[in-house]
Structure 1
């Protein structure tokens, strides 16, 4: 009887371990790679890796090997709620600092940058530690130009743990629908990415000298914004400058998030009555990880608001 009881207990333990192992494997299931086209030029099939892509095969293999192990006394790491990304305090400097008065950029908890080819080779881990909790990366403009550093910056920023998004510089002498398709063709649709940005401003150095009417501008913008929102499932952000906003955007697009350039005064003075998500407060920033100057920005909210916003728009 004693040997039969021991055999019964041993079989029951195996059954419990098997059930536990199966649930752990289920919790570790990872979606397959996206088939999104990310380049106008044909290249070998590859996905832009996220921060955890390289670790996924090893995790799955380990889960399979430990399926019959005793049930652990603590919750497996794969089943825990993922921690919110760490917010690094800003240690940026400025080549030409401005006194913004009562509400200054340093009063904001979450700082970030925007970059393009002009920043050259960026040390993204160093830039993040110095205060870049988010980055908007120049992707495209018009219907045929892609920033030559976009793909490299897109991948490197993700590996460094920087929350990043892409922006398109709008060219007024081209159709809005064609520009939207060009952006979609070159910018991946990835879970966790920040909403795409439409950059609208007057470019005095552009070969396009045509200035559409306000009605034409609003129509073009709406076409572009609608197409991106349908594709990415995120409401795009509108970036603009004081003169362009004054000429065209006052009172428009009330239900869109705005990213405002204001390097001489607080946005409330330059864009009265306009809510904003991001404020670009400097074009002469200095930081570890970058040679030369870089644009500096802040998020409109504290750390808790930042994490809530990320969960809502980039979850």
Structure 2
């Protein structure tokens, strides 16, 4: 029997796809946006905005439960009644040599030094050793000034007025002169009022400007109320959210703190607020 050989049919080899694989297309980086973003976050204006927002938010948190109109200003290290928009200080030899440029540059929120009352004289013989310098340097940086005399009731009021005007040259744009009366000096209230009136009358006649009376709230209530109602008042009443004076009283300045810290002054200083807007303040100045 013949052997029949089977023909084996070989399968053709399967061809592999040798075409090169395509690389996955990656997302192109938006370099323009990245550069713009970096410019923003590295900008001082951006950080200023962020810090300001953070500071305002933190202040709001810290002020929760406090009188919103009597806020703490950390720069000045005191509370300041925020209903007022024109602020100032009063200075004498006690503050030493003052850098008025730094005083003027200091600001927190909207609070800055707009005016200063400067001690000039006291009684019949004392001239403040820093008066001339303060009177000269403060206006150079744009601070409106007024000069004050510390009144001594046991001394002649007319002579005190003459002594004051011998040392102070009051000019256009100044605040009115001030009589600082806060002690009786072993005199009677009647004698004090007589000498004070003589001082005020003489100064007004010579300068054509009605002086301001400075005193503290208790001295005013005890000895001055009802006697000098035609005069503008500057009242001292410390560490209170509001000045407890009758609204009809003619007060324009409130000395509300005696422990403020101000750049350029190496000692605590009195801080004051003006009752009125910028127009009222301008109307008060010497013309």
- The 1:266–1:235 alpha-carbon spacing in structure 2 relative to 1, beyond 3 Å, is farther
Does residue 139 (structure 1) correspond to residue 120 (structure 2)? The answer is yes
2:120/2:147 contact within 8 Å kept: yes
Tell me the CA shift for residue 274 of structure 1: 1.9
Partner of 1:106: 82
- The answer to which structure has the higher strand fraction is 2
- TM-score between the two structures when normalised by the length of structure 1: 0.62
- Structure 2 unpaired stretches of 5+: 1-72, 107-111
Q: Matched residues in 2 for 1:94 and 1:191: separation?
A: 30
Tell me the CA shift for residue 172 of structure 1: 1.9
Partner of 2:221: 246
Matches within 5 A, 1:99-248: 105-130=81-106, 131-202=112-183, 209-210=185-186, 212-248=187-223
Tell me the CA shift for residue 268 of structure 1: 4.3
Q: Matched residues in 2 for 1:271 and 1:284: separation?
A: 26
Partner of 1:282: 257
Tell me the CA shift for residue 305 of structure 1: 2.6
1:260/1:267 contact within 8 Å kept: no
Structure 1 outlier segments of 4+, above 3 Å? 91-95, 270-273
- The 1:271–1:214 alpha-carbon spacing in structure 2 relative to 1, beyond 3 Å, is farther
- The 1:260–1:277 alpha-carbon spacing in structure 2 relative to 1, beyond 3 Å, is same
Tell me the CA shift for residue 286 of structure 1: 0.9
Tell me the CA shift for residue 198 of structure 1: 0.1
- Structure 1 unpaired stretches of 5+: 1-90, 99-103, 204-208
Select between 175-184 and 213-222 the one with higher mean Cα deviation. 213-222
1:239/1:260 contact within 8 Å kept: yes
Q: Which SS does the other structure have where 1:182 is aligned?
A: helix
Q: Matched residues in 1 for 2:81 and 2:76: separation?
A: 12
Q: Which SS does the other structure have where 1:224 is aligned?
A: helix
Tell me the CA shift for residue 273 of structure 1: 4.4
Partner of 1:303: 278
Select between 266-275 and 162-171 the one with higher mean Cα deviation. 266-275
Q: Matched residues in 2 for 1:260 and 1:189: separation?
A: 22
Tell me the CA shift for residue 242 of structure 1: 2.2
Q: Matched residues in 2 for 1:261 and 1:147: separation?
A: 21
- TM-score between the two structures when normalised by the length of structure 2: 0.68
Partner of 2:286: 314
Q: Matched residues in 1 for 2:74 and 2:119: separation?
A: 21
Q: How many residues align?
A: 211
Larger radius of gyration: 2
Q: Matched residues in 2 for 1:126 and 1:293: separation?
A: 15
Matches within 5 A, 1:82-97: 93-95=75-77, 97=78
1:143-180 CA distances to partner (integer Å, 9 max, x unpaired)?
Answer: 00000000010000121111101000011221111111
Tell me the CA shift for residue 294 of structure 1: 0.7
Q: Matched residues in 2 for 1:153 and 1:177: separation?
A: 26
1:92/1:287 contact within 8 Å kept: no
- The answer to which structure has the higher helix fraction is 1
